[in-house]
Chains A and B, each alone.
Chain A
Amino acid sequence: MLTEKKDKTGLFIGAVCLAVLYVFLILLDNVIPQNSFTLLLVPVLKKGAIYSLVCVSMNLLNGFTGLFSLGQAGFMMLGGYAYAIFSIPKDQHAAVYQYFDGGLIQFSIPEALSNVLGESAGAIIGSIICIMIAGIVAAAFAALIGIPVLRLKSDYLAIATLGFAEILRAIFQWSGLGPITNGSNLLRKYTSLSAIKIGSLKLATFFPFFIAGISIALIVLLINSSYGRAFKAIRDDEIAAEAMGINLFRHKMLSFVISSFFAGVGGALLAMFQTTIQATPFKSAMTYELLLIVVIGGIGSISGSCIGAFLFIACNEWWLRFLDNGSFMGMSVPFFRDGFRKVVFSVIIMVIVLFFSKGIMGDREISFAGLARRIRGSKPSGGKEAPAK
C-alpha cells in the first residue's frame, strides 16, 4: 500500500514533466524565434520522437517477446506509404502520379474532412485517421506474414523477416503497382507536419511527440499487463511458457502485429516529417540502425530505447556532423570527409555491443517514483525498478 502511494507521486511528477515538455515544444514552434540553434534542434527533436516510437515497438518484439525480427523497416515503409496514399489532395494526383494517369485512389481523407470541419481540424483529424490506417495496414501485413514466419526459430525468423521486408520493398517499386505506389517515384504533396496547426498555432513539433507519446504509453501499459508478462515468459523460456498454458503462436502473433502496428504509425510520422516518401531508404540497413539503437538503449528497456533514439538522431544529424564537413573548430582535419561520421558511429556501436552489452539502461526503466524517493532523500528500496540481472 506504501508502494501505491509512491506510484501516485511518481505518476504526478511524470505528468508534470510531460506537460512541461509539451508546453516547451509548442513554445518552440510559435514563440521562440528561429535561429541557427533551433534550426538544428527542431528536426532532431521531431525525428528523435519518431525513432523513439519505432525503436520502442521493435523492443516490444525483440526485447520483451524475444523474437528476433528484422522486418521493422518494411512495416515502416508500409505505414509511410499507406499514410501518403490516403492523404494526397485530389488536385495534386495528376502531378504526383504523372507517369500513372493520376493514380488509382482519387480521394484524400484530410482534404475531405477539411471541407466539412474546416481546414485545421480537417488536417489534424484527417492525418490522425490516416496514421491509424497506416498502422492497420502494417498490422494486417504482419498478420499475414506472421502465419508462416512465426513458426520459425530465432535466427531463421530474423532472416525470414528481413527477406519479407526486402520483398515488400521490391514489390512497392514495381511499376505494376504504380497507380497505387507510384512505382519507384516519390510520393509527395500529402499532408505533412507543417499542415498541423490550430489557426495560427503551429503544432509541427508537438504533433509527433503527441502521437509517439500516446503510442509509447500504450505499449508500456501493454507490457505491464498480463499479456506483457506472458510475452516476457515466452522470452525467458518458451517451453515453460507453453507448459503454463500460454499459447505460443497466438501470443507471438499478438506481439508481432502490435509491434508492426506501431512501426506503421512511426512510418506515417516519418513520411509527414520528410514531406516525401520513397521505398529506397527502407532497406535492411535501416532495420540494422533501429536494432542498434535498441541495443544502445538497452534491450528490454523502454526508456532506454527512447534515450538511444534521441542520442542516435542527435549524433547522426547534429553533434557528429562536423566529422563529415572536413573541419573541426576551424581547423581542417585530413580524415574528416563525407562518410567519416558513419564510420565513427559504427565503431562506437561495436564498442557498445562488445563491451557494454547491456546498453545505457540494461533492462531497467527511468522511474519517476524512484526519482521522487531520491528527491525526498529516502533510500530506494531496490527491487522493482532496478532488478540486478
Chain B
Amino acid sequence: MSGFLEANLPYILAGISVGGQYALIAIGYTMVYGILRLINFAHGDVFMVAGLVMVYTSASMPMVLAIPVVILATVILGFAIERVAYMPLRSAPRMSVMISAIGVSYLLQNCALYFTGGLPKVYPEIPLLSNSVTIFGATTKVVTLITPVITLVLVIALVTFINKTKLGMAMRAVSKDFETSQLMGIRINNVISATFMIGCFLAAIGSLLYFSNYTSVIPTSGGMPGLKAFVAAVFGGIGSIPGAVIGAFVIGICENIIKGMGLTTFSDAFTFVLLIVILLVKPTGIFGEKATDKV
C-alpha cells in the first residue's frame, strides 16, 4: 500500500489539483443546468477565453492588476453570452438553446483562433503559484497544493451564499420550478444572469489555476476540461454543487492515476466510460433527486 502511494504520490497530487480546477468549472455547468436545463456547451470555451485574456493582460499590466481584470472580463463575457444567445430563446424548444450554445462555443473558438493566429500562447508565470515546492519527496508547483484549498473555500462560500442570501434563495426556487417562481415575482432574468456570472467567476479562477500548470493556451484548450467538468457535474448529480465538486475530484484523481500507469491515451476515454456507466446505473448522479415524468 505504502509502495503504491509513494509511486503514485505525484499523480495523486496532480489529480487532486486538476480535480479542484475541474470542480470550479463544473459548478458553472451544474448551476446553469439546474436553472435552465441547458448544457452550456460554451462554458469550456469561456474558460479558455479567460486563459487567453490572462495572456494578453499580463503582457500589458502588472500581475496584481491583470488577475482582477481577467476575472472581471470573464464575468462580463458570461453575462453577455447569456443575454445575447440564451435569453431570446427562453421559450424556444430545448434543442434550439442547445444549438445556440454550440454556436457560441464555435464562435468563441473561432475568435480565439483569429486573435492568436492559431499559435499556442505562452501562459505567464504567476508569482507564488508557479513556484516549485517539495512535499513528501515529490516536487510539484505551489498551485498543485493551493488549488484544493482555494476550491474548498470558494465552494463553502458559494454554498453559504446560496443557502443564506435572498438571491441564493431565489436561485434555489427557480431551479425547483421555473414557472411558479416567475409567478411569485422572482426576477427570473436577474437570477439567471447572476448564475452565469457566478459560474464564470469560478471558471476564471479555475483557469488561472489550471493554466498555471500548463505552458500554453490554444483555442481548443477549453474543450476537454469543459467536457470533463460536465461529466463531473453529471456524476455528482446535476444541479448539486457538492456533487459536482466530489465528481470533479474523482475524475481528476482517476485520470491522473491512469496517466501514471502509462495509459495516457485512455485517461480521456475513462471520463466518458464513467459518464456512460453513471447514466445507466444511476441517471440522477450520486446526489441528484429523482424526477418522474408526468404522463
A285 / chain B contacts, CB cutoff of 8 Å = 106, 109, 220
Minimal beta-carbon separation of B64 from chain A (angstroms)? 32
Interface residues of A in 56-72 (CB under 8 A from B): 62, 68
Specify which of A62, A158, A167, A340 is in contact with B269 (CB 8 Å cutoff).
Answer: A167
In angstroms, Cα B84 to Cα A170, docked, is 35
Q: Which residues of chain A come closer than 8 Å to B115, judged between CB atoms?
A: 339
Flag B102-128 by CB within 8 Å of A: 1 or 0 each: 111111011101110110000000000
Residue from A154, A156, A337, A357 within 8 A of B92 (CB atoms): A357
Tell me if B's interface is mostly helix, strand, loop or mixed. Answer: helix
| Chain B residues, Cβ within 8 Å of A156 | 234, 279, 283
Give the residue name and chain of the B residue nearest to A294 (CB): B99
**Out of A149, A291, A343, which one reaches B114, CB within 8 Å?**
A343
Q: Are A159 and B275 in contact (CB under 8 A)?
A: yes
> Is B1 engaged at the interface, CB distance under 8 Å to the other chain?
no
Cα A167 to Cα B113 in complex, Å, equals 24
Q: Tell me which of B89, B99, B283 contacts A152 (CB under 8 A).
A: B283
In the complex, B96 has a CB within 8 A of chain A: yes
In the bound complex, CA of A148 to CA of B281 (Å): 10
What are the residues of chain A within 8 A of B111 when measuring CB–CB?
343, 346
With contacts A292-B106, A339-B117 taken as known, whether A353 is within 8 angstroms of B99 at the C-beta atoms is yes
Assembled-state Cα–Cα distance A11/B99 (Å): 35
Q: Is A338 interfacial (CB 8 A cutoff)?
A: yes
A284 to B110, CA, bound (A): 14
Known: A170-B268, A292-B103. A343 touches B110 (CB 8 A): yes
A343 and B283 CA atoms in complex are apart in Å by: 37
Contacts of B105 in A (CB 8 A): 288
Residue of B nearest to A344 (CB): B110
Chain B residues with CB under 8 A of A258? none
Please encode chain B, from 202 to 224, with 1 for each CB lying within 8 Å of some chain A CB and 0 for all others.
00000000000000000010011
Give the contacting residue for A155; candidates B98, B103, B266, B293; CB below 8 A.
Answer: B98
- Residues A158 and B114 in contact, CB atoms below 8 Å apart: no
Roughly how many angstroms separate A151 CA and B279 CA in the complex, as a whole number? Answer: 9
The residue in chain B whose Cβ has the minimal distance to the Cβ of A346 is B107
Chain A residues with Cβ under 8 A from B100's Cβ? 350, 353-354
Q: In the complex, given contacts A166-B227, A346-B107, what are 13 additional A-B residue pairs having Cβ atoms less than 8 angstroms apart?
A: A151-B280, A152-B283, A155-B39, A159-B234, A162-B227, A163-B231, A163-B271, A291-B99, A291-B102, A339-B115, A343-B114, A353-B96, A354-B100
Residues of B at the A interface (CB closer than 8 Å) are: 37-39, 84-85, 88-89, 92, 94-96, 98-100, 102-107, 109-111, 113-115, 117-118, 220, 223-224, 227, 230-231, 234, 265-266, 268-269, 271-273, 275-276, 279-280, 283, 293, 295
